[in-house]
């Protein structure tokens, strides 16, 4: 961990060692908090509007107050990027319901807002070149995965299971069908070249990258089917990949030990990654 970062906490820009949150903060006690992660390239924020729209939706689904306006959020992002000389990486943002005596009922208090930066090579990530190996595991998460809460223990356990198996990530399976990855949306490409990805609902997070990638795929005349698929169908697919704000399009070359296609990064995944990067840089702010 870099100990020299400046982080934002409730109106203040502080060295990370001085940035503190109360033990009575409901984010800490009850995971009563939502978050967003955006990628930064050349000091600019990718897909800011999409992420703040989803943040507003997460807040509203939980009857949580917004900590400030979207314009103020943009100012905070920019100030933090500047103060940390961040050219490439990510900004993490978290809103918690706030600080109150422990009680299951929501208190009427002011929300807490925390943002920090993380330097990272998001463009030239090794996974984009080599592809990733995934395992499948049961999806043990709660029923409102459409809300981006900080309850990340189940995905953390999934990531550890993947590591223990010598793999990079896990795909989560519910009632025989893949929901999504631990921190990304999951896709396969059929022999006919059709992209298949789980339809939106409370079972998965509506990825901001997912929306953009499906739009670019459809503009490139690639057929799309939004429906559940099984691990068996995925293992027999021509290609597989994931999307997220920080992975962009991440090729998958192995699922539960079965090689996907020729075991190399797929053409559609590579092309969509290029298009995504090129297009999202045009709207970066
Ligand atoms: N699903 C889950 C469970 C995630 O955690 C993420 C990453 N936040 C995604 C999908 C991808 O969403 P996005 O493209 O907005 O990063």
pLDDT in tens, 138-185: 999 999 999 999 999 999 999 999 999 999 999 999 999 999 999 999
Do residue 95 and residue 143 come from a single domain?
Answer: no
Å from CA of 148 to ligand 1 middle: 8
Q: Which of 244, 245, 276 to mutate to test the pocket of ligand 1 (most atoms within 8 A of CB)?
A: 244
Its pTM surpasses 0.85: yes
Decide whether any atom of ligand 1 lies within 6 Å of the 207 Cβ: yes
Identify whether the C-beta of residue 95 lies closer than 8 Å to the C-beta of residue 70: no
Do residue 268 and residue 137 come from a single domain?
Answer: yes
Provide the pLDDT confidence category of residue 209 given band limits of 50, 70 and 90. Answer: very high
Å from CA of 172 to ligand 1 middle: 13
Do residue 35 and residue 155 come from a single domain?
Answer: no
The residue nearest atom 9 of ligand 1, judged by CA position, is 184
1 occurs within a structural domain: no
Decide whether any atom of ligand 1 lies within 6 Å of the 208 Cβ: yes
Å from CA of 5 to ligand 1 middle: 25
Helix residue ranges per DSSP H, the chain: 26-30, 48-61, 70-83, 126-130, 153-164, 208-219, 231-235, 267-282
21 occurs within a structural domain: yes
Q: Count of alpha carbons within 13 Å of 90, Cβ hemisphere only?
A: 17
CATH number where 79 lies: 3.30.470.10
Do residue 55 and residue 162 come from a single domain?
Answer: no
pLDDT tens digit sequence for 43-102? 999 999 999 999 999 999 999 999 999 999 999 999 999 999 999 999 999 999 999 999
Decide whether any atom of ligand 1 lies within 6 Å of the 210 Cβ: yes
Using alpha carbons only, how large is the chain's radius of gyration in Å? Answer: 19
CATH number where 245 lies: 3.20.10.10
Question: Which pLDDT does position 1 carry in this prediction?
Answer: 58
Note if 159 is an active site residue.
no
What's the total number of domains in the chain? 2
Domain boundary, last residue among 86, 119, 152 = 119
Do residue 113 and residue 204 come from a single domain?
Answer: no
Do residue 148 and residue 270 come from a single domain?
Answer: yes
Mean pLDDT over residues 100-125, rounded?
A: 97
Do residue 191 and residue 166 come from a single domain?
Answer: yes
159 occurs within a structural domain: yes
Do residue 229 and residue 89 come from a single domain?
Answer: no
Do residue 217 and residue 80 come from a single domain?
Answer: no
Domain boundary, last residue among 92, 119, 146 = 119
Q: Rounded to whole angstroms, how far apart are CA atoms 187 and 175?
A: 18
Tokens found for residue 192:
């006919």
C-alpha to C-alpha distances, 241 to 28, 134, 212, nearest whole angstrom: 33, 10, 15
Backbone φ/ψ region at 165: left (φ over 0), alpha (ψ -120 to 50), beta = alpha
Domain limits at 40? Answer: 6-119
Q: In sequence order, what are the residues at sequence separation of 6 or more whose Cβ sits closer than 8 angstroms to the Cβ of residue 161?
A: 135, 137, 170
Q: In sequence order, what are the residues at sequence separation of 6 or more whose Cβ sits closer than 8 angstroms to the Cβ of residue 163?
A: none
Structure-derived torsion over alpha carbons of residues 200, 205, 209, 210, reported in degrees to the nearest 10: -20
Decide whether any atom of ligand 1 lies within 6 Å of the 170 Cβ: no
Decide whether any atom of ligand 1 lies within 6 Å of the 244 Cβ: yes
DSSP 116-181: EEEE---TT-HHHHH-EEEEEEE----S-TTS-BS--HHHHHHHHHHHHTT-SEEEEEETTEEEEE
Structure-derived torsion over alpha carbons of residues 182, 188, 194, 198, reported in degrees to the nearest 10: -40
111 DSSP β-pair partners? none
Do residue 204 and residue 246 come from a single domain?
Answer: yes
Identify whether the C-beta of residue 6 lies closer than 8 Å to the C-beta of residue 118: no
Total residue count of the chain as it appears in this document = 285
Question: Which pLDDT does position 3 carry in this prediction?
Answer: 63
Domain boundary, last residue among 75, 95, 119 = 119
Do residue 179 and residue 108 come from a single domain?
Answer: no
Mean pLDDT over residues 270-277, rounded?
A: 98
Provide the pLDDT confidence category of residue 240 given band limits of 50, 70 and 90. Answer: very high
29 occurs within a structural domain: yes
Do residue 19 and residue 98 come from a single domain?
Answer: yes
Answer whether residue 117 shows pLDDT above 80.
yes
Q: State the burial class of residue 278 (Cβ atoms within 10 Å of its Cβ: 0-12, 13-18, 19+).
A: exposed
Q: Rounded to whole angstroms, how far apart are CA atoms 99 and 97?
A: 7
Name the one residue in this structure whose structure tokens are 């463009």: 123
């Amino acid at each position: 961990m870099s100990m020299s970062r400046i982080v934002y906490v409730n109106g203040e820009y502080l060295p990370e060692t001085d940035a503190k949150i109360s033990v009575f903060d409901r984010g800490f006690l009850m995971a009563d908090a939502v978050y967003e992660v955006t990628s930064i390239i050349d000091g600019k924020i990718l897909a800011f509007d999409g992420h703040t729209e989803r943040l507003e939706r997460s807040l509203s689904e939980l009857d949580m107050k917004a900590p400030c306006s979207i314009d103020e959020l943009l100012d905070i992002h920019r100030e933090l990027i500047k103060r940390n000389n961040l050219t490439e990486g990510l900004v993490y943002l978290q809103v918690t319901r706030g600080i109150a005596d422990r009680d299951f009922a929501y208190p009427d208090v002011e929300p807490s807002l925390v943002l920090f930066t993380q330097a990272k090579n998001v463009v030239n990530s090794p996974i984009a070149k080599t592809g990733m190996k995934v395992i499948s595991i049961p999806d043990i998460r709660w029923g409102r995965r459409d809300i981006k809460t900080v309850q990340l223990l189940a995905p953390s356990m999934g990531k550890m299971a993947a590591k223990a198996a010598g793999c990079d990530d896990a795909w989560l399976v519910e009632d025989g069908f893949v929901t999504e990855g631990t921190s990304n949306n999951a896709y396969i490409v059929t022999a006919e070249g059709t992209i298949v990805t789980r339809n939106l609902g409370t079972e998965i997070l509506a990825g901001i990258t997912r929306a953009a990638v499906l739009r670019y795929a459809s503009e490139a005349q690639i057929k799309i089917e939004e429906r559940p698929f099984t691990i068996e169908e995925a293992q027999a697919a021509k290609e597989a990949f994931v999307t997220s704000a920080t992975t962009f399009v991440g090729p998958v070359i192995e699922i539960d030990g079965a090689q996907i296609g020729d075991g190399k990064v797929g053409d559609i995944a590579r092309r969509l990654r290029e298009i995504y990067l090129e297009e999202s840089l045009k709207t970066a702010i």
